[in-house]
Amino acid sequence: MTIVYIDADACPVKDETLRVAERHRLKVRIVSNGGLRPNPHPLAETVIVGHGADVADRWIADRIGPGDICVTGDIQLALRCLDAGSEAINHNGEVFTRANIGNRMAMRDLMADIRAANPLAAGGSGKSFSRGDRSRFLNGLEALVQKAKRTAGYSPP
């Protein structure tokens, strides 16, 4: 059965993920380092991991498998999910694939180098999360769930 994992720290689409999961009766694991209230939704399991860099990412990567889906903005976690045979989607609806993950990793590394070379530069260059992003996410997650159901021979509980 497909499980949806949410890398929940700073995730703007937790509610949207639960809406899609509810429609398909899928379990959702909301994973964070803390600071989140447990979600009362019957399909949701709130997982609080220890503090530290990438602890939530490691928890997800150690458990995710074929047929599962990860909602994350972390490109390295997305790569680990793909390596595990699962699917990964960004908050703005971009599905991570073998075809695009290399370019995404290279761009992430380039931007880190640029920021390191100019530490006094003003930040805030990222665009805000929009309704369009939310809509693209819902469509992308729905497509991934449909794909997972087809490949796993899904039958609801």
Strands 3-7 and 69-71: parallel
What stretches in the chain show pLDDT beneath 50? none
What pLDDT is stored for residue 29 in this prediction?
97
Domains and CATH numbers, the chain: 3-119 (3.40.50)
What pLDDT is stored for residue 120 in this prediction?
66
What pLDDT is stored for residue 121 in this prediction?
62
What pLDDT is stored for residue 114 in this prediction?
75
Maximum alpha-carbon separation in the chain: 54
DSSP one-letter string for 13-68: THHHHHHHHHHHT-EEEEEESS--PPP--TTEEEEEPPSSTTHHHHHHHHH--TT-
Q: Give the whole-angstrom CA distance, residue 14 versus residue 11.
A: 6
Express as a percent the part of the chain with pLDDT over 70. Answer: 89
CB within 8 Å of 91: residues ≥ 6 apart? 11, 12, 13, 71, 73, 129, 133, 137
Q: Is 12 helix (H, G, I), strand (E, B) or coil?
A: coil
CB within 8 Å of 39: residues ≥ 6 apart? 14, 18, 30, 46
Express as a percent the part of the chain with pLDDT over 90. Answer: 62
Q: Answer whether 59's CB lies under 8 Å from 39's CB.
A: no
Q: Give the whole-angstrom CA distance, residue 96 versus residue 82.
A: 8
pTM: 0.85
